[in-house]
Structure 1
Amino acid sequence: MLNHYPLWKYIILVLTLILGIIYALPNLYGEDVAIQITGTHGVTVSESTLIDIIHILKQKNIVSKSISLTNGTILARFSNSNMQLYAHDTLLKTLGHNYVVALNLAPAVPSWLTMIGALPIKLGLDLRGGVHFLIEIDMNTVLNNIHKQVIDVFIQELRKNNIPYTSISKINNYGSKVNFLNSSICDEALAKLMSIHRDIALIKKGKKYSIEIYLLDNKLHAASNLAIQQNINILRNRINRLGIAEPLIQRQGVNSIVVELPGIQDTARAKEIIGATAMLEFRLVNEEQSEEHSKITSNSEIKFTRNGTPILLYKQVLLTGDHITNATFSTDEYNQPQVNITLDHQGGKIMSNFTKDNINKLMAILFIEYKNSSDNIKDNNLFLKQEEVINVATIQSHISNMFRITGLNNRQEARNLSLLLRAGALMAPIKIVEECTIGPTLGMQNINQGLKACLWGLIAAVLFMVIRYHKFGIIATIALIANMILIIGMMSLLPGVILTMPGIAGIVLTLAVAVDANVLIYERIKEELSKERSIQQAIYQGYRRAFSSIIDANITTIITAIILYEFGTGSIKGFAITTIIGIATSMFTAILGTRAIVNLLYGNKLIDKLSI
């Protein structure tokens, strides 16, 4: 039968619309001003922390809407920003630097919606407000560290093969010079090293019996790319602790990273979390000499624990934290806490070579942080180095890529240490060279302007369709409203989709595309009526013959949007993704949706005249 849909098609359409309404609904509830508390330096947030915070707020007569602990993060909601700021200042002074106390915005969505994953659309920086950072990586430190690792391996190879050398000195362009007693020893060392390390430039200086060692350009380039990627991953892990929805973290240029944090209000705390560069070093404890000795040898130096206890360490770094692939907490056979560490292949080899000759000696883990030494982002004194011995353990056996740290005071210390080791280490200090803050007021203004644009676009389209196509225009309007609901629902549901100002432009564009599809269908119906076809035939042929034109036009638009998404960045991607979603929903509503309504009103009925 012409112009007839089976019941199952109507059921699918209704269910789709209901799902769209449910997932679009969270956008009506707005957001609460909130404070988020997480731990730093391996400190965990627990139920006792929650109780302490509730007690602190109660003492200061600070009333909160709710306080909850979820996945190691405490979220306190407040009725207004004044109460939020007062609570923030109070908790910041009370809790100290072991906790991140960040101002934030939390969706005020009912629990029954969050249980099914219904959350509001994630807004970009230009709509929600927030902070933009341009971060520069100190590549000089990266390449020096890489070269130092290479030289350490060379020295181990020379010692392993009993090849003596007189001295090692650093030279320009990330190179080192190794001096030998005579030409024959120099030739022996060169032959041995060249057979092992083919990605390093080795140049013999005959007159001085020395070998100059340089990193090749491809190795320098690979090290730079690795540093950028590792820093991006670690920065993302840090920012996730702030609870920021869908932050933008991407590479820009040769040695820079762009970080955009929509919705964050406490920019100083975000800057502190991002700007700190944490690194780990495994070193041997110098037990032959006391840290109180008046003359400490040149190969050792004093470091301190968190409690201020001095420990004398050898300067040679055995291993760095970037070789750690995993660290977990457990208990041994005596129910004592321990941390199980897994190293990568290279780290396992280094650890194996070292520990077989140092059993029963003490090994320390040194935690190093580089923080911005000035609040002025233009200050060239980039970093303030802070060091702390976080653990000293006895090497109990010959170990390789898997070993355990014991001798810990309690389980909490073991958990904190495993978290710290597992968090990862940046390969070099970083500097925030550019900072731009967009206030929530400006973001709200952008939202209002975007909503006005959508509203006026919708009104213009509705007026045109109703005036031009009468009753069929009303049907197109219903489809247009359904299309809007589905776009909002899809954008709320899909992970990684962020709405920006260009994204709003994409929504307005897709509304026009949706109307265009209905115009093609209705004009085709009118054309069929002018050929004196029956009303049922005209409706059927109108939808059937306009279909190919609509598909062709939309496919070309989708292809263009995909290209924009693939090669664009930031706001361009936002425009592309809303365009793709909008076209998909507009084809669904403009073709299937209007056809279902038309079939319901006119299908299998004797109609004398169409209101079109």
Structure 2
Amino acid sequence: MRKSNTKPKHTWQILVIIITVVILGLNAIPTLYGNNNALLISTVNPTQALPNPQQLRKIMQQKNVQVTQIINGASDSKIVIDGDDEALMRAQQQLKTTLGDEYNVRLGNQSAAPKWLQELGVSPIKLGLDLSGGVLFVLEVDTHKADQERLSNAKDETLQIIHDQGLRGMSVKIAAADNKVDTTTNSIGKIDLHFLSHQAAQVKLVVKELQQRLPGISYSQTNDRSGNLTFLEQNISTFHQEIMAQALSTLRGRIEELGITEAVTQRQGPNRIRIELPGVKDPEQAKRIIGATASLDFYEMANSGTASAKSFTDQNGQRLRVAPKPIFSGSNIENASAGRDEMGMALVNLSLDGLGGKKMSEFSRDNIGKPMVTVFSEYHKNTADEMIKKSKVINVATIQAQLGNRFSITNLDSPQTAADLALLLRAGSLDAPITIVQQRTIQASLGKNNVNNGIMALAIGLGITLVFMGLWYRKLGLIANASLVLNLVCLLGLMALLPNVVLTLPGIAGLVLTVGMAVDTNVLIFERIKEERQRGRSSFMATETGYKEAFATILDANITTMITALILLSIGYGPVKGFAMTLSLGILTSMFSGVFVAHVLTYLVKPQIKVKAQVAAKHQEQI
């Protein structure tokens, strides 16, 4: 009976350990192989065919570039290059020159793991900016300019309401101020409304209609002939939060369109956004797309009696007057793709969402034979370092029939212009202008040195720990070493498996710290077992009590560390966030390996330990 009690079955625990180690081990293996440089080739026109592999190999041979593999996908081809960054850039330039503007050639990478591992869908750990090299951008969102645009739109809405209601004698203008926060009225900027003394009742109707269109606006009458329209501070704060959220979403969409999957995009301070682009070797392309503040609006031509009509310049320098409000904007565009018309001219095919399609259908139905104006707007800094909005007409099309949610923008300058415009429209336009206030490029060679130094530090720390545990605890030390190695394998596999985890240089420090934490878990348990054996308990009872009593201490220590790691993860950015992420996952894997795995391994080798304990007890009785 006693024998059956001291040898409990641990079949399900062993199965859990095997399944976990196999899954995470397979995900950890590709990290040992790393990535190879690659080029991604896609067509400007979706209907165009991709180059065949023989043609691509021939182009590469012209520049003596060794091709490891060519992977043909549904929408692009990938050429895996055997060479450094210099060979990659040389290959990209050769492809651009040979293929021309019909194709886009982007820089990328491909896992160097064996093909059978790639077919399983596993990939290496995504490396951060400091390990793989790349580009860092810090962008500033101009919320002040967004406030000015919002105030200008409110003025246009007010003028339109006055015009629609046929009121005369009223005037609207934006107050000449710097639009800073007014501490007396808790508002930013204001619109002065002037009217005749007998128009008080009509003013209330105008304000009521305006508040229905713009719920965040308030009105205060200063005297019997004037009043102010303002946005309150609370509403402005909400507006700024929405602007920042929209900017983050748009920038992430643009980064995804560039094919960069390991990017880190997060808010930094009240109005700044930090973007890390690991592995990016063409910073100018990223800067051109990410830093663009382009937007697209579609207008109808203004009538002679239209109030507050806007004026734009077309490509021939002619001034065009359009309605103050667009029919729809770029926010209603669901998809966009570059292409060519029957004459070979570049164009962009647009697909609208439900709301945009409805607006387009109704407008085109009522305006057959009339023109529709497409206006492209960008923000630029002038010589005084002020943000200026520059708009131009890129297309004036006569509506021939009722349109739906699909149509095209034609007469664009070049295929590259069409491709960039389509990318921006797919990712979304920005409601507020952004400025790149910091740009830093980290070379890949520096990243490789960081990786080598970090791995060396990890290897030295792990080696010393394994030797110490083996010499000090003997068989228990071997158990600790086995669980320690499994902990490292599980952590690397978990980091490769999770989609948003990026390994940084401080993250490697987190790996080293995780090794120490895992060993600390085993030390607490083993010392407790030794104390129980000294009290005369059997090996089985000492082991059981040791794991049970030490678990509470281990859990408390790991929970407090996890709380700190989660705080760093939520408020930190860049290297701090990388360290916190590795530390958080390391706590989970060290608990699994140090408590669960080590517990099972201890029971598997327990009979040998028990025999030694019995021999020692008999020897003591003889004395």
Question: Which category describes the TM-score, using the shorter chain as reference length?
Answer: 0.7 to 0.9
- Seen in structure 2, the aligned counterparts of structure 1 residues 298 and 479 have a Cα distance that, compared at 3 Å, is closer
- Seen in structure 2, the aligned counterparts of structure 1 residues 578 and 387 have a Cα distance that, compared at 3 Å, is same
Map of 1:271-282 to 2, 5 A cutoff?
271-282=287-298
Residue of structure 1 equivalent to 2:56: 54
Identity %: 33
Matched, 1:89 2:96: no
TM-score (norm 2): 0.80
- Seen in structure 2, the aligned counterparts of structure 1 residues 363 and 515 have a Cα distance that, compared at 3 Å, is same
Separation in 2 of the partners of 1:595 and 1:301? 75
Matched, 1:324 2:341: no
Give 5+ residue unaligned stretches, structure 2.
Answer: 180-188, 338-347, 617-623
- Of 126, 132, 142, the residue aligned with 1:138 is 142
Superposed CA deviations along residues 307-332 of structure 1, whole A, max 9, x for unmatched, are: x8989452634245254264589xxx
Separation in 2 of the partners of 1:50 and 1:611? 77
- Of 548, 556, 560, the residue aligned with 1:556 is 560
For these two proteins, the number of residue pairs brought into alignment is 578
Separation in 2 of the partners of 1:455 and 1:232? 39
- Seen in structure 2, the aligned counterparts of structure 1 residues 30 and 75 have a Cα distance that, compared at 3 Å, is same
Residue of structure 2 equivalent to 1:75: 78
- Of 463, 486, 508, the residue aligned with 1:459 is 463
Matched, 1:199 2:210: no
- Seen in structure 2, the aligned counterparts of structure 1 residues 371 and 320 have a Cα distance that, compared at 3 Å, is farther
Matched AA of 2:478: I
Superposed CA deviations along residues 99-132 of structure 1, whole A, max 9, x for unmatched, are: 6544333332344323433111111112221111
- Seen in structure 2, the aligned counterparts of structure 1 residues 164 and 381 have a Cα distance that, compared at 3 Å, is closer
Residue 475 of structure 1 deviates from its aligned partner by: 1.9
Matched, 1:184 2:198: yes
Residue of structure 1 equivalent to 2:394: 389
Residue of structure 2 equivalent to 1:65: 68
Residue of structure 2 equivalent to 1:546: 550
Map of 1:252-401 to 2, 5 A cutoff?
252-285=268-301, 300-304=311-315, 312=320, 314=322, 316-319=324-327, 321=329, 323-324=331-332, 326=334, 341-342=352-353, 358=367, 360-370=369-379, 380=385, 385=390, 387-390=392-395, 392=397, 394=399
- Seen in structure 2, the aligned counterparts of structure 1 residues 596 and 432 have a Cα distance that, compared at 3 Å, is same
Matched, 1:530 2:534: yes
Superposed CA deviations along residues 11-65 of structure 1, whole A, max 9, x for unmatched, are: 22122222221110010111112233467xxx45566244598388358456433
- Seen in structure 2, the aligned counterparts of structure 1 residues 476 and 393 have a Cα distance that, compared at 3 Å, is farther
Residue of structure 2 equivalent to 1:21: 25
Separation in 1 of the partners of 2:171 and 2:550? 83
Superposed CA deviations along residues 517-568 of structure 1, whole A, max 9, x for unmatched, are: 2112222222222223333333333333333332332233223322332333
Superposed CA deviations along residues 366-415 of structure 1, whole A, max 9, x for unmatched, are: 233446789xxxx9376794745257352867x9xxx53558889x9999
- Seen in structure 2, the aligned counterparts of structure 1 residues 71 and 309 have a Cα distance that, compared at 3 Å, is farther
Matched, 1:229 2:245: yes
Separation in 2 of the partners of 1:96 and 1:372? 32
Matched AA of 1:148: S
Matched AA of 1:79: D
Residue of structure 2 equivalent to 1:593: 597
- Of 504, 512, 534, the residue aligned with 2:516 is 512
Residue of structure 2 equivalent to 1:293: none
Separation in 2 of the partners of 1:223 and 1:320? 21
- Seen in structure 2, the aligned counterparts of structure 1 residues 51 and 429 have a Cα distance that, compared at 3 Å, is farther
Aligned residues of 2:367 and 2:399 also touching (Cα < 8 A):
no
Give 5+ residue unaligned stretches, structure 1.
Answer: 289-296, 330-336
Separation in 2 of the partners of 1:75 and 1:151? 52
Matched AA of 1:316: P
Q: Secondary structure at the match of 2:440?
A: strand
Separation in 1 of the partners of 2:358 and 2:160? 11
Residue of structure 2 equivalent to 1:238: 254
- Seen in structure 2, the aligned counterparts of structure 1 residues 37 and 59 have a Cα distance that, compared at 3 Å, is same
- Seen in structure 2, the aligned counterparts of structure 1 residues 533 and 65 have a Cα distance that, compared at 3 Å, is same
Residue 243 of structure 1 deviates from its aligned partner by: 1.9
Residue of structure 1 equivalent to 2:125: 121
Residue 354 of structure 1 deviates from its aligned partner by: 7.5
Aligned residues of 1:383 and 1:429 also touching (Cα < 8 A):
no
Q: Secondary structure at the match of 1:608?
A: helix
